[in-house]
Amino acid sequence: MHYADLLIHSARMMATLKGHSDSPAVGEKMSEIGLIENGAVAIREGKIIAVGTTEEVRKACLGPETKEISAEGKVVTPGFVDPHTHVLYGGSRENELSLKLKGVPYLDILKQGGGILSTVRSTKQASDEEIKTQTNRRLRTMLSFGTTTAEVKSGYGLTVEEELRALRLIHELDKEQAVDLVPTFMGAHAVPAGYSEEEFTDYVIDEMLPKAAAEGLAEFCDVFCEPGVFSLESSERILVKAQQLNLKLKMHADELESAGGAELAAKLGVVSADHLLKVSEAGIAALAQKGVIAALLPATSFNLAKNSYAPAREMVRAGVPIALATDSNPGSSPTESMPLVLTIACLYLRLTPEEALAGATINAAHAIGRADQVGSLEVGKKGDVLILDIPNLNYLPYHFGNNPVEKVIKGGKLVW
């Protein structure tokens, strides 16, 4: 055994999330978070080389050059994985707050040319440097709240050039800052003026997808499947084409209306179906049967202020694996905070803190195809570790609106 470069020790409680890397945690297994008291984790050349009690890990890999960090009295977890964000964009939409407070529905704002289409305009107006500066700031905030890996979607371009630009900028940002980014193509995010839904669907399939795939710019393809945006038929056509081009699939499904989105997600065997506020019973059964991950976005429900949340307990009971994400975007979820998501998930999705933590780490890693690398503290995985300044796990959702993250270690380096 080699000596560690970094050894984090004396954690009052360390949640390893071990044992779920081959397949996501479901049902009662979502509560098995691999707790170790007086825990320690050792990292060498960016990867975890030992996990156990402080005594065990120190004995095995404490060398003369090893740097040590004490987590005495604190909780240690894997870095959070945020598997659904739209964090790359120009501008902001606080001007829509008054409409929202008057009760104007989200899709009505979009139909009036606001919402996503407003961000499409402000993104187009911004230079590459401006978009990167703004997005970097958001990624830095995400990191400060413990997110060490995040999925990022395109979708504020809606032309071939602008969508490819967004995906290229995601790749550049991935290299230039600490949070690891997983790029998703989401050209089918809204229908721009001048197109029918069918015409724009054809454009996505014939022009955008082949170019995005040819440049190797995206790992996943996502669609906003929702009555009034992209129908089941259009969504299926787009996702089938994406599958032919070797992209993995995701879907925004059953967010605002129950319309068979989850059933389609299961039929296509997507990796994750996201939102699911209005998922039907048959939809839940279909997701469970196909092992589709439900990526739930309770901060979006909270921010849309409709007092309506995804039926998470029914999904856990049915054996659907649950992941949690911020949905960070300028309209329906302008936040970068996974701790806030955990609080809302416990209070309104009625997840236990253990289930919520599994959703924000290992199951989230599965939702973006990274469970072999991140999401748990296990030998061979990236040294992505959080030290939370809290005495126990209940404290994480309990004390809300603040930042419990004291230190963020990314690939064995202290980055926050």
86 binds ligand NIG (CB under 6 A): yes
Name the minimum Å distance from CB 114 to ligand NIG: 9
Residues with Cβ within 8 Å of residue 171, at least 6 apart in sequence: 181, 183, 217
Q: What minimum distance in Å lies between the beta carbon of 168 and Fe ion? A: 21
Taking CB under 5 A as the criterion, the residue among 327, 354, 355, 384 binding Fe ion is 327
Stretch of 59-67, 187-195, 323-331, 375-383 contacting Fe ion, by CB under 5 A:
323-331
In whole angstroms, give the CA distance from residue 397 to residue 77.
14
- Cβ neighbourhood burial of 93 (10 Å; 0-12, 13-18, 19+): buried
Q: Report the C-alpha gap between 241 and 233 in whole angstroms.
A: 12
For the bound state, the minimum distance from the C-beta of residue 121 to ligand NIG, rounded and expressed in Å, comes to 12
CA–CA gap between residue 82 and residue 60 (Å, rounded): 33
Q: Show the site string, 107-136: x = touches ligand NIG by CB under 6 A, - = not.
A: --------xx--x-----------------
Q: Which x/- pattern over 213-232 shows residues binding ligand NIG (rule: CB under 6 A)?
A: -----------x--------
Residue 252 binds ligand NIG (CB under 6 A): yes
Residue 82 or 327 with smaller CB distance to Fe ion? 327
> Which H or E element spans position 10?
strand 6-15
- Nearest alpha-carbon partner for 351 in 25, 59, 12: 25
- Contacted by 384, from ligand NIG, Fe ion, none: CB < 5 to 8 Å by type: none
| Cα 25 from Cα 89, distance rounded (Å) | 33
Q: Which is nearer to ligand NIG, 16 or 300 (CB)?
A: 300
Binding-site size, ligand NIG (CB under 6 A): 13
Which 3-state string (H, E, C) describes 151-211?
EEECCCCCCHHHHHHHHHHHHHHHHHCCCEEEEEEEEECCCCCCCCHHHHHHHHHHHHHHH
Q: Is 82 in the site for Fe ion (CB under 5 A)?
A: no
Cα-only R_g, the chain? 21
Interface with ligand NIG (CB under 6 A): 86, 115-116, 119, 224, 252, 255, 300, 327, 329-332
Interface with Fe ion (CB under 5 A): 327
